[in-house]
A and B are shown apart, each in its own frame.
Chain A
Amino acid sequence: MDRSYLSDPEVVAASRKFICVRLASYEDAGEVDFLQSVFTMRGVLQNTVFCILAPDGKKKLVNAGRAPGWAFGVAEDMALEMNEIAVDYKPGKTRPVDLGLPYLKSVRLAMNVAACDSQRLAIVYAPDLETRAALEAKLVELAWSKEIIGRFLFAMTKDVSDLAKVDGASGEPGILVVVPGAYGVQGKQLVHVPVRADAKTLRAALREAAESDAGGAKDSQRHIRRARQKGIRWRTATPVTDNSGRQRRRRR
């Protein structure tokens, strides 16, 4: 993934006028179909895809490709173009409830992605719909607030077994703030905010968690070597179709 563009401050500022979606490439058959409709190379879905679409989710506003660099020379150009595109759509003032919570597909996937990003994960857990809705109503306002936006990933579950890999999780309904392990196959609960907690308590808990050390850079070669020593492997939900990395290694 091209981090030099997507971590650029001007791109991040422009992104606040967009709906930004980052899909895990091989984790959902429906999303694979969608990504294939956006960009393929010789009909094959690539490991990474980049595009900007109109609000209808269909019309392409820039050339699609593997990464932002296919459409923009530098991050500054990307930010400029994004700001110009946003003017055309005049979204106006958006309420957090219109955005909803930007959940990942599952706790398992969210923990992995949070590890990739060295980021905190907020998990909404309650077996019943009514309690989950109450928790979400409190969380959604904070998730899009200036102090919290972009600082957490989010997941939701009604199944307590999804929390089995979270050290310290009691199984009580509430919002769990989790720090993922290096490989994202397990995590540790930093704080549990119970259902009865008010918005002020939740806000304080999220602020404290956001300000704690989120982890630094990763050396991917060392990361992979250590994971292999530990026997850690990731199984995707759909077949990995982009074998260009493997082919490059074979040619060496």
Chain B
Amino acid sequence: MYTRLIYLLAVLLISASLLAQGRGPGVTVDWRRVEQRVAWFGTWDRAKAAAKRTNRPILVVSAAPHCNKVPGVW
């Protein structure tokens, strides 16, 4: 019973968060509304070399550019 209540609460919180951002579950960012984006390096070797040359800290993110083996969506 408690597990179900916690699960329901979590779903409600996540849904509220997504709706607050103007999108439903499974809907990605509308990049047309985003003026500036992070400039990402795409390989670790190049990022590490650039950090060494510039003494900048490194923001590291990884993600799979496929969902259920389908490309084109994070």
Q: Give chain A's interface residues, CB within 8 Å of chain B.
A: 1, 3-4, 6-7, 9, 11-13, 15-26, 28, 30-31, 34-35, 38, 47-57, 61, 82, 85-86, 88-92, 94, 98-105, 109-110, 112-113, 115-119, 143-144, 149-151, 153-155, 180-185, 213-221, 223-224, 227-228, 232-234, 236, 240, 245
Contacts and interface: CB of A to CB of B under 8 A. Distances in A.
Interface residues of B, number: 51
Given A19-B51, A55-B55, A154 B42 contact: yes
15 contacts: A19-B50, A20-B59, A21-B42, A24-B62, A55-B57, A92-B55, A113-B42, A116-B72, A117-B37, A118-B31, A153-B42, A183-B71, A217-B27, A219-B26, A234-B69
Given A115-B73, A184-B72, 13 more contacts: A19-B59, A22-B61, A23-B60, A89-B56, A91-B56, A94-B54, A99-B50, A105-B43, A112-B72, A117-B37, A119-B31, A224-B73, A234-B69
Contacts of A6: 38, 61
B3 interface: no
Interface in B19-67: 21, 23, 26-32, 34-67
B70 interface: yes
Contacts of B72: 112, 115-116, 180-185, 218, 223, 227
Contacts of A25: 62-64
B74 interface: yes
Contact of A1 (B50, B54, B58, B63): B63
B71 A115 contact: yes
A103 B26 CA distance: 28
Contacts of B60: 21, 23, 38, 49-53
B58 A57 contact: yes
The 10 closest A-B pairs by CB, nearest first: A104-B42, A21-B47, A1-B63, A150-B37, A115-B72, A234-B71, A183-B72, A217-B30, A102-B41, A234-B66
Given A61-B57, A218-B28, A34 B63 contact: no
A73 to B, nearest CB: 12
A125 B31 CA distance: 27
A180 to B, nearest CB: 8
Contacts of B36: 9, 12-13, 150
B53 A28 contact: no
Contacts of A28: 43-44
